């Protein structure tokens, strides 16, 4: 069974498999951006962090470039994942090859100097990520996040925050005190079995509304769903965010979907959900082109 599962995943990552993979029914507009994806390894060149809580399969830059070409995305934002820790070399390597078409979100700690951060900036990094999921990273005191945020303030970077909706009350004050725009990962991971009026989801919306420079990603519907494709339980939450915050939303695949090997989503299906999430051409252009261009200042 394990061998069959590994073979299935390998086919998902095989460039040649894209020849047999259907094209999305929806064609993204020119300069469309996948604003949330990852590059892993290859481990022989870019080892995973010793303190990691999970070990993914290699998902190197060649596979991601090929996927974006197949799906019709010219731009992308690489988000450093916890399995690589503060070693951002795999991400930077892909940014260098993308020649301005990709941007990065790094993970840093208190040991990073101004010159270290400037090197990341020159490579295309425009933000850092704070992960508050204790099943993925160890918890840290508020003072740690404040210190890190102060390091990146002069560069004009933003802070990507990853949390689950029920934990937001515990970190809301901290997030609002950080001296940088916030980008909320994966819709704040709401409970999609609840109503849109549910308190935790409305608290996420109020965090976006707290400042016009705050953003939210309508990504990871495949991770939030309780029903599976076509994700009809998640779509209303994404629609709500797109229609209430049209100038503050981003979209991403979350490729290669770490820790989802048992229910690996079809990226073509995710692209075909975009017209359901953003129901007019104007909203789709803002979501995929205008907003990421404004935040990441692509060349």
CB 73 within 8 A of CB 33: yes
Question: pLDDT of 39-80, one tens digit each?
Answer: 999 999 999 999 999 999 999 999 999 999 999 999 999 999
pLDDT digits (tens, 9 = 90+) for 100-150: 999 999 999 999 999 999 999 999 999 999 999 988 888 899 999 999 999
Residue 8 lies in a domain: no
Q: Per the domain annotation, does 258 fall within a domain?
A: yes
pLDDT at 270 over 60: yes
| Confidence band for 294, pLDDT divided at 50, 70 and 90 | very high
- At 50, list the tokens: 């010793």
pLDDT in the model for residue 4: 31
CATH number at residue 201: 3.20.20.140
The verdict on residue 7 lying in a domain is no
Q: Using CB atoms within 10 Å of the CB of residue 121, give its burial: 0 to 12 exposed, 13 to 18 middle, 19+ buried.
A: middle
254 is catalytic: yes
Mean pLDDT of 222-243: 97
Domain count, the chain: 1
Q: What is the pLDDT of residue 262?
A: 79
Report yes or no on 12 lying in a domain. Answer: no
Q: Is the pLDDT of residue 10 over 50?
A: no
233 within a domain of the structure (yes/no): yes
How much is the pTM?
0.93
Catalytic residue (choose from 34, 185, 254, 267): 254
In this prediction, residue 18 has a pLDDT band, given cuts at 50, 70 and 90, of low
Distance CA 248, CA 290 (A): 10
Q: How far apart are CA 179 and CA 150, in angstroms?
A: 7
167-185 mean pLDDT = 96
What is the overall mean pLDDT for the chain?
92
Q: Determine, yes or no, domain membership for 81.
A: yes
Determine phi and psi for 200, rounding to 5 degrees: -65, -40
Which residue range forms the structural domain that includes residue 282?
A: 28-296
- Percent of the chain beyond pLDDT 70? 93
Tokens at 273, concatenated: 């959900």
Q: Which has the closest alpha carbon to 225: 215, 233, 213, 217?
A: 233
128, part of any domain = yes
Q: CA-CA distance, 124 to 255, in Å (whole number)? A: 19
Residue 156 lies in a domain: yes
Residue 190: CB partners within 8 Å, gap ≥ 6?
A: 165, 198, 200, 201, 204, 224, 237
């Amino acid at each position: 069974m394990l061998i069959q599962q590994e073979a299935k995943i390998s086919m998902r990552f095989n460039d040649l498999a894209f020849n047999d993979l259907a094209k999305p029914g929806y064609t993204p507009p020119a300069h469309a951006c996948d604003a949330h994806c990852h590059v892993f390894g290859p481990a022989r060149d870019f080892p995973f962090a010793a303190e990691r809580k999970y070990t993914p399969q290699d998902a190197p830059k060649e596979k991601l470039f090929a996927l974006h070409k197949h799906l019709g995305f010219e731009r992308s934002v690489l988000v450093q994942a916890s399995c690589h820790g503060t070693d951002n070399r795999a991400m930077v390597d892909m940014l260098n090859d993308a020649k301005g078409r990709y941007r990065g979100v790094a993970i840093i700690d208190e040991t990073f100097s101004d010159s270290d951060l400037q090197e990341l900036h020159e490579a295309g990094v425009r933000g850092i990520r704070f992960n508050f999921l204790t099943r993925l990273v160890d918890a840290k005191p508020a003072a740690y996040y404040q210190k890190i945020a102060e390091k990146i303030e002069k560069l004009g970077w933003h802070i990507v925050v990853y949390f689950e909706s029920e934990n937001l009350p515990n970190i809301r004050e901290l997030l609002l005190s950080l001296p940088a725009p916030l980008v909320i990962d994966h819709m704040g991971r709401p409970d999609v079995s609840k109503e849109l009026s549910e308190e935790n989801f409305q608290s996420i919306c109020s965090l976006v509304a707290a400042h016009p420079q705050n953003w939210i990603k309508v990504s990871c519907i495949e991770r939030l769903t309780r029903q599976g494709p076509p994700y009809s339980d998640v779509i209303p939450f994404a629609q709500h965010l797109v229609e209430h915050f049209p100038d503050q939303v981003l979209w991403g695949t979350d490729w290669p979907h770490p820790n989802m090997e048992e229910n690996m989503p079809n990226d073509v299906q995710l692209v075909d959900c975009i017209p359901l999430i953003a129901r007019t051409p104007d909203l789709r252009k803002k979501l995929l082109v205008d907003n990421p261009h404004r935040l990441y200042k692509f060349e």
